[in-house]
Structure 1
C-alpha cells in the first residue's frame, strides 16, 4: 500500500463518513489512519512509525504480518476458503487438537466462536445448562466482552448502560492489595479475606442457585492484578464444594501473554471451562472458543447443545491458529515472553517507578504489565478519577500524547498505562519503549505531589 498523505486523507474521510466505532462518541474521536504494520511496529500515511505497546487490543502476540501465518491464510484461501461448521474439515480439527494439547487438565473439547465475548456467552450457557442453575458470580474489576451476557458479567463501567439488573449476575470483590477492599496489609491477608468474602457471597446468594463463577485468570483491562498465591486454588475449592462451574477467562492472557501458554499454569488450577480468543491466532482472522472439561462435555453427549454460530471454526481463522501455534512452538515465543518480562520489562518498569513520583505500583508478568499512576504515593490517589470524563482526564491525555510524540503507542485505561507489546518484542525494542515511557511519565509527574 502506497504511503501518501492523499491516500491517508481519503482513508480518514471514508472512515469518518461511514464507520461507526465501538465504545466511542462518534463526533469526538479522531482515529489515526494506518498505512501498514510489521512486527512490533505500525505506521501512518505521513510515514510516522509507532512501537505498539498495545498489541492491537492485546492480541498480536506474534506481532504483525508474520510471514508463516500470512502464508497459511493464503494457502487455506486457495484450497477451501469457507465451509459450514457441521462438517469436519482439516484446519478446524487440527486447530482444536493443538489447542486442546495446550490447555490445562482435561479441557479437551473445543467449541469455536468468532471472538472472546461469544466465548464467554457460550461458557455461561453451558454452565447454566450443566447445573440447571441461573446465577453467575463475577468480579467488579473485570471485562468479559460486549455481548449481552458478557457485558453484564463485566464489572467495569462499560456494563452500566446495558445493565438492567435482570441478567442473573452478582458481582463480588477479588483481591487487589494495592487498593484492598479488605483493609489487608499482606498478600496472605488479602487472599484469606477475599476468599472469605466470596464464601459469604455464595452463602447469602444460595449455593444451589449459582451456576458459575467467572474470573479472568489475571484481570486484563481492569488493571493486570496478579492474584495472590492460593486465591484461585481457593476459588476452585469453593466451586467443588458447592457444585459450581469454575470458568476462567483467558481471552487476553492465553497463548503466551503471561509467559505460559495459559495463565492458569502459574497457579496450578484447572477450570471447568476456559475461554480464549485474541492470541490464539494473533487476531489475524477473528477466532475464539471455549475449552470444555470432560464432565461438562458429557452433559451434551445425548442432549443437543442449544448454541452455534454460522462461522464457528472458520477455515481461514483455524488455519491461522494452526500456523500461529506452530510458530510459537518453533520460535520459542512463550519462553521468550517469560524471559523478556523477567529480565527487561519487569526490571525496567520498576526502575522507572523509582524515578517517577506518578508511578504508584508496577505489576505483571511476561509481556503483561501495568503502571498504576497516582497523584500521591502515600494516599494512592489515582492520577485521574475512576471512569473519568474528558474534563477529568487531562493528566492521562497528556501522558498519552507524550508517548505518541516519542513514537510509542500506549495502552491507557483510567489511571493506568499497560505495557502489553507483542510476545515477540526484542530486547532493543523493549528498551526503546521503556525510554519513551520514561520521557512521557514526566507529563504525569507534573500532576503528582
Structure 2
C-alpha cells in the first residue's frame, strides 16, 4: 500500500469491518442474489489495480470490478475532475447546456466513425441499450429486435429480454418483440464448423434464416455485443461483423453495437468494432467511458438516425442524462488515454504479456480447453476432457455443481487476485493501468489456481 493511502486508511480495522458487514447484511438488498446466501466482502480502499479489505488483505483486481474500472481505483486525475466540477457546478438538468457534457460528446464523436456526431447520454449500459432500441424502432417503424443467445444487455425490460443468458429466464415474459439467434463460437460451434471461416459463413447463413423466418419487414434492429463479454469473451471470426453489416443493409435493419463492456480501451480500441473495419448504426457505451466513478452511459448516433429526430421529438429522457460530475470524469478519461497512450499500451500488453502467458498455461493444464481474447480482455475456458470439450461445470451451474470453478476462484483469492469467473470460465480483465509486474504476477496466481481445475479431472 502506498504511503498516501496508508495515511488516509489505517488497516487492519476489524471494528470497521464488523460495522460494514452488519449494515450491509441488515439493510442492503443485493442484485442477482439470494440475500441470505451471500457474504459480500467489505472493501476499505483501492488504488490503481489493487484494493484492500478491512483486514488489510490486498487483491489485484483482475475483474476491474465489473469490467468497468478501466483506469483503476482512485485515479488522481479522475478524482480531481469530480472535485473540481463539484466545486463549481455539481448538477444541472439535461435540457440545459453544460460545458463538460458538450465537450465529452464532442470527444466521443471525434473517436467514433465518420458520420457519428450526436451522443445521447444515459445513466448506464442497460438504459443505453433501451434507448438505442427505442431509436431504431422509431426510425424504422418496426418493432422486433434480434439478439444473440450468448449475450447480456442489461436489466431493464427490453435489455433483459435482449439478454440471452439465464438472467433472462426469471424475468420473462418481458418485451415480447425480441427473438434470439446463435452467434459465432468457433470452440463450440452450433454449426459443426471446423474452421473460423466456416463458422463465420454458417453463422451468417443462420442469421439470415432467422431474419427471413421472423419477417425481415418486422425487424427494427439487431443488437450485438461486438465481443461477447460475460458470456465468453467471444471474438467474432473474420468477416462476421462485415456480414452482419451487409445483412442489415440488405433488409433495412439497424445494427446496434453494444460496446458497454468492450468500449473505451478494453481491447486496445476506442470501440471494439474498429478492430474489424466496420461501422454500426448506433453504438451503446458505459463502464469504461469514465471507469464508473459516477454512473454514465450513452448512445452514439449515426447521422441517418439522428436526422430523423431533427423535427420529430425523441420519446425518451432521464433526469440525470449527461450529469456534469459524470461527464467531467469522462473528459478527464480522454485526457489520460491520450497523455498515457492507453490504447497502445493495452494492445502491447495483450500481445506481449497476456496471450503468451495464457498459451503457456493451456499447454500445461489439461483442464484448459481454449483461450481467447484481445487486449486486456481474455477468457480461459475450462473443460473435463479436451477431446469431447465437456465443460468443467454444467451450464448455469451453482452450488455443488459449480465446485471446481469455485475452488479455482478461492485459490486466486488466497493468492491475492480477485478473479472474474462465469460458468466454466476464468476471465482476465484487469484495469488498463495495471503495471506489467502486477499483470504477470496475477497471471501466475491464476496459473497456480488452475491446479484446482486439473484436480477435478482425476
**Common fold: TM-score over 0.5:** yes
SS in 1 for 2:133: helix
State yes or no: 1:344 paired with 2:368.
Answer: no
- Residue 270 of structure 1 corresponds to 279
- Residue 255 of structure 1 corresponds to 264
Shift of residue 167 of structure 1? 2.4
Provide the C-alpha distance between the structure 1 equivalents of 2:304 and 2:456, rounded to a whole number of angstroms: 53
State yes or no: 1:13 paired with 2:22.
Answer: yes
Per-residue displacement from partner, 1:378-429 (whole Å, max 9, x unpaired)?
Answer: 1101010000121211101111100000000000000001000011111101
- Residue 450 of structure 2 corresponds to 441
Kept in 1: contact 2:258–2:283 (CA 8 A): yes
The correspondence for 1:220, drawn from 210, 214, 229, is 229
SS in 2 for 1:393: helix
- Residue 40 of structure 2 corresponds to 31
- Residue 80 of structure 1 corresponds to 89
Structure 2, unaligned runs of 5 or more = 1-8
Shift of residue 166 of structure 1? 4.6
- Residue 144 of structure 2 corresponds to 135
The correspondence for 1:317, drawn from 316, 326, 351, is 326
SS in 2 for 1:108: strand
- Residue 378 of structure 1 corresponds to 387
Summarize the alignment of residues 32-181 of structure 1 with structure 2, pairs less than 5 Å apart.
32-164=41-173, 166-181=175-190
Provide the C-alpha distance between the structure 2 equivalents of 1:199 and 1:55, rounded to a whole number of angstroms: 36
Provide the C-alpha distance between the structure 1 equivalents of 2:382 and 2:22, rounded to a whole number of angstroms: 35
- Residue 308 of structure 2 corresponds to 299
Kept in 2: contact 1:104–1:264 (CA 8 A): no
Provide the C-alpha distance between the structure 2 equivalents of 1:316 and 1:288, rounded to a whole number of angstroms: 13
Per-residue displacement from partner, 1:337-360 (whole Å, max 9, x unpaired)?
Answer: 110000000110111111111110
Shift of residue 165 of structure 1? 6.1
Shift of residue 104 of structure 1? 2.1
Kept in 1: contact 2:157–2:175 (CA 8 A): no
Kept in 1: contact 2:384–2:457 (CA 8 A): yes
Provide the C-alpha distance between the structure 2 equivalents of 1:132 and 1:447, rounded to a whole number of angstroms: 53
- Residue 373 of structure 2 corresponds to 364
- Residue 240 of structure 1 corresponds to 249
Shift of residue 107 of structure 1? 1.8
Provide the C-alpha distance between the structure 2 equivalents of 1:334 and 1:25, rounded to a whole number of angstroms: 39
State yes or no: 1:390 paired with 2:399.
Answer: yes
Kept in 1: contact 2:161–2:175 (CA 8 A): no
Provide the C-alpha distance between the structure 1 equivalents of 2:175 and 2:300, rounded to a whole number of angstroms: 27
Provide the C-alpha distance between the structure 2 equivalents of 1:371 and 1:339, rounded to a whole number of angstroms: 20
- Residue 5 of structure 2 corresponds to none
Summarize the alignment of residues 399-410 of structure 1 with structure 2, pairs less than 5 Å apart.
399-410=408-419
Structure 1, unaligned runs of 5 or more = none
Q: Report how many residues are paired.
A: 449
Kept in 2: contact 1:62–1:333 (CA 8 A): no
- Residue 195 of structure 2 corresponds to 186
SS in 1 for 2:66: helix
Structural RMSD (CA): 0.8
Per-residue displacement from partner, 1:308-327 (whole Å, max 9, x unpaired)?
Answer: 00000000000000001110
Provide the C-alpha distance between the structure 2 equivalents of 1:19 and 1:361, rounded to a whole number of angstroms: 38
Kept in 2: contact 1:105–1:270 (CA 8 A): no
Provide the C-alpha distance between the structure 2 equivalents of 1:136 and 1:39, rounded to a whole number of angstroms: 39
- Residue 4 of structure 2 corresponds to none
Provide the C-alpha distance between the structure 2 equivalents of 1:6 and 1:96, rounded to a whole number of angstroms: 45
Provide the C-alpha distance between the structure 1 equivalents of 2:282 and 2:266, rounded to a whole number of angstroms: 19
- Residue 289 of structure 1 corresponds to 298
Kept in 1: contact 2:227–2:234 (CA 8 A): yes
Q: TM-score, normalised by structure 2?
A: 0.97
